[in-house]
Chains A and B, each alone.
Chain A
Amino acid sequence: MKALESEEQLIVYVDIKSPYAFVAIRPTLELEASLGIRFDWRPLTLDIPSYLGSAKKVDGKVVESTRSEVQWRFLKYGYRDARRYAERQGYILKGTEKIWDSSIANIGILWVVRNNRDLLKNYFEVVYPPFWRRELDIEDFQVVENCLELAGVDSKGFRDFCQHEGRKIHDNLQAQLHPLGIFGVPTYVVRGKILFGREHLPLVRWLLTGSRGQAPDIAYEISDSV
C-alpha cells in the first residue's frame, strides 16, 4: 500500500484515538455519500508523545506530564473545540485519561475495508462514540472483535490478521507517512494535495466535483444534524 496512491479519488487518514478525527467522521462520510463515490479510508496511528508531550490522568487529574504550559493551553482549547462539535453531532466526547495504543482498532479499519467495505460506517459507529464515552478498551483484541461483530463484520481471522499481515500493512504504511508530509488526522489526500483537518472538506468537495468557480475557503460546515 503506497501512502499517496489509491484507486479511489480520495484517501482519508484517521485514528480512533483522535478527537479531531472523531468529529470529522460524520461530515466525511456524508460527503462520500453525497458524491456517490468511495473514499479510501486508512489508519494513521498517531505517536502523540512525539509532538505533544505525554500525560497521564487518574480520576480526571493529571498525575504525570511532560507538556509545557503553552502545549496544555492549546490542547485544552483543541479538546473543548472538538467536544462542542461532537455535541452538535449528538455525541459525548470525554477527555481521554491516557494515550492509547489504537493500532488494533485502526487495523480493524483495514480489516473492514478488505472484507466488508460497505460496513465501514457501521464499524466507525460502534467504535468511535463508545471509545470517546470511555466505554471501550481498544487495546483489547476481544473488544475490537466484538466491535467488528456488532458492526456486522465477521471477526474470524481478525486476530491473526492483526498480528501478521494487517500489522505489516499498517506498520509499512505508518513508516511512509512522515517522509511524505503526512503527520496528523484527519488528513485528506486528493488531486496531489495533502490537506490536514476537516476544515478543508469544502475544498475537497470542490476538487472532487471539477474545481468549478472560485475555490471555497476553509470551514467547519454545520447542518441541522451536525
Chain B
Amino acid sequence: MLKIYLDFKSPMFYLAYKPTLAMIERHQMVPEWIPFRSIQEPVPLRLAEETKTQTHLRIRAEARLKTHLMYAEYQKLPMKFPPVPGETDLALAALLHLQTDPGNFIQAALEAYWIKNADLNSFEVVSSILSDVGIDPAQCDFATYLTELEAIQKDAWDGGVVDAPAYVIGGQVFIGREHFPWIESLIVAQKRVASSLSG
C-alpha cells in the first residue's frame, strides 16, 4: 500500500506529479492520495545589510527555486512561482471529497496554481475547478473536510511527514521523488510477497 501526501503549492509535488503517475502506472498501483499542508516560504528579498544567516537562507531559497525551474524546463512543464506562496487549504479539503479518483482534480488544481497562480483557498476558484472536472461543488462539505484536514495534518506530522510529496510505504516515509528507485524496489518486494502468499 502506498500513501502519497500532497500539497498543490509544493513545487516538489508539482514536479513529482507526472513521474508519480508514471511510477504507479508501471506497477499498476492505486495509491491513497492524502492532503498535507506543506510549509512554503517566499524567497527572501536581498537586504542592503544581511546577517550570515539571512544570506544563507536567501541564497538557499534562490537556488532551490532556480533548480525547480530548471527541471520544469527539462520536463517541458510550464511553471510560474507566485510572488508569495498561496494557501491551499480549500483545495486540499476538496481532495477529501474525491477519494476514489482524484487525478483530474489534482491535475487541474496544479495547473491553476502553477500556471495561473490561482488562489486555491478561494471558494470560487476551487468550486470552478471541481465543476470543470465534473464534480458538483455543492456536494462538497468543505467545513467538515477542513476539520478533517487538521486531524490528518497532525497525524502526518506525528508520523514523520514534514513536506510534500511524501511517499509512505512499508512503514517508511520518503520525502521527494528522488527516492523513486528505493520506493519502487519496495513496491516490487511487496508484490513479490503478495504473489507468493496467494500461491
The interface of chain A, by Cβ under 8 A from chain B, is 47, 50-51, 70, 73-74, 76-77, 80-81, 84, 178, 181, 183-184, 193-197, 199, 214-215, 217-222
Contact: B177 with A217, CB < 8 Å? yes
23 A/B residue pairs, CB under 8 Å, sorted by A: A47-B52, A47-B56, A50-B56, A74-B162, A76-B160, A77-B173, A77-B175, A80-B160, A183-B56, A183-B59, A193-B70, A196-B63, A197-B178, A215-B74, A217-B19, A217-B71, A217-B177, A218-B176, A219-B180, A220-B178, A220-B182, A221-B181, A222-B181
A194 and B56 in contact, given A77-B162, A219-B178, A220-B181 (Cβ under 8 angstroms): no
Query: Can you list the 8 inter-chain pairs with the closest CB atoms, starting with the nearest?
Result: A199-B178, A215-B74, A51-B56, A50-B52, A218-B178, A222-B181, A50-B53, A220-B178
The interface of chain B, by Cβ under 8 A from chain A, is 19, 39, 52-53, 55-57, 59-60, 62-63, 67, 70-71, 74-75, 157, 160, 162-163, 172-182, 185
Contact: B177 with A81, CB < 8 Å? no
B59 contacts which chain A residues (CB < 8 A)? 178, 181, 183
Cα of A222 to Cα of B186 in the assembled complex, Å: 12
Smallest CB separation, A45 vs chain B (Å): 13
Smallest CB separation, B42 vs chain A (Å): 16
B173 contacts which chain A residues (CB < 8 A)? 77
Q: How many A-B residue pairs have CB under 8 A?
A: 65
Cα of A91 to Cα of B177 in the assembled complex, Å: 24
Smallest CB separation, A58 vs chain B (Å): 25
Cα of A184 to Cα of B163 in the assembled complex, Å: 20
A214 contacts which chain B residues (CB < 8 A)? 74
Cα of A196 to Cα of B74 in the assembled complex, Å: 17
Cα of A74 to Cα of B60 in the assembled complex, Å: 15
Interface centre among A178, A184, A218, A220 (most CB of B within 10 A): A218
Cα of A214 to Cα of B71 in the assembled complex, Å: 11
Contact: B181 with A184, CB < 8 Å? no
